[in-house]
Structure 1
Amino acid sequence: MRTVVEHESTVHLTGPAAGGMTMLMRYDSDDPYAVRLDFLDAATPEDRTSQDGCVTWAVGRELLTVGLDRPCGTGDVFVRPGTAALTELAFSGVPGVAVLLVSTEALRTFLRATYTLVAAGSETARLTVPDDLSALFESSEEQHPG
């Protein structure tokens, strides 16, 4: 059964473009390793019906979990403890690096809800492989027995 956990939090962008924005954290049990972070431009719920003004990053749930306690990440996403109350999320892209501060308690509460839904270590059991992809794997195993 598919279940989605969502939690909205205000985050603070640091640097020259400093300011607050809304981040919607989404976890879908059908994609058990990932968390979607939607950064919303619109201030009111009725403005959020389209994807305009929304930037989404998919990040590993484990990356966010480890980053609560120690610096973690390579590549485009880096997470590390900031202060006791804030966790730092850094996103790298073509225009540069965006560093956001999120409430550690909000992030921890959200992650706790995701682990209640899908326990650590049980993610693989939640994955479903489409029939056409399964057939491709079976065909490959027949040609290259292992």
Structure 2
Amino acid sequence: MSTVIEQPVEARLVAAAPRMPSIPATLHYDPREPFAVRMAFPAPSTLEGVDVCWTFARELLSSGLEEPVGQGDVRVRPYGFDRIVLEFHAPEGTAVVHVLAGDLRRFLESTTELVPIGLEHQHHDLDHGLDELLRGTC
């Protein structure tokens, strides 16, 4: 049995309005997928009114604490002293959220205790990855 880390975080949605509403989000790490983290947003906080989950590299999140990173659908960068900006790009539009840097650091420290950086290949569950990839195709 594998330990999965789930950590709620408060995200602030950056919008055209001057007030940035808080939205709940959950960071998720499963050592069976050691290179990836997930960030999930509940239905009430999305334009479509459905749960949304973004999966991206743990390394992207870690590097984004120190400098701007990412060229694809997910981009991460520091903002001021205590916040991190995450940009999620989709065909429907772009969502930009601020998260406290301390929350992300605690989450990443927890993941590193389970799977140290650089040793992910020793924890990768190929069967689980194939099951996820092929789910619903047959």
TM band (smaller chain) = 0.7 to 0.9
Post-superposition, which runs of at least 4 consecutive aligned residues in structure 1 deviate over 3 A?
Answer: none
Q: TM-score, normalised by structure 2?
A: 0.82
The alignment-based identity, stated in percent, is 37
Residue number among 66, 71, 80 corresponding to 1:69 in the alignment: 66
Asked if structure 2 preserves the Cα contact closer than 8 Å seen for 1:3 and 1:30, the reply is: no
- Matched residue count: 123
- The Cα shift of 1:94 comes to 0.9
The one-letter code sitting in structure 2 at the alignment partner of 1:28 is D
Q: Distance in 1 between matches of 2:26 and 2:126?
A: 28
Q: Deviations over 1:32-90 (max 9, x none)?
A: 000010112459xxxxxxxx732100011000000000000011110000011110000
1:43-54 to 2 correspondences below 5 Å? 53-54=50-51
Q: TM-score, normalised by structure 1?
A: 0.78
Residue number among 30, 33, 36 corresponding to 1:31 in the alignment: 33
Whether 2:57 is the aligned partner of 1:55: answer no
Q: What 5-or-longer segments of structure 2 have no aligned partner?
A: 131-138
Q: Distance in 2 between matches of 1:97 and 1:70?
A: 20
Q: Distance in 2 between matches of 1:108 and 1:53?
A: 28
Q: Distance in 2 between matches of 1:32 and 1:129?
A: 11
Counterpart for residue 81 of structure 1: 78
Q: Distance in 2 between matches of 1:78 and 1:128?
A: 26
Larger Rg: 1
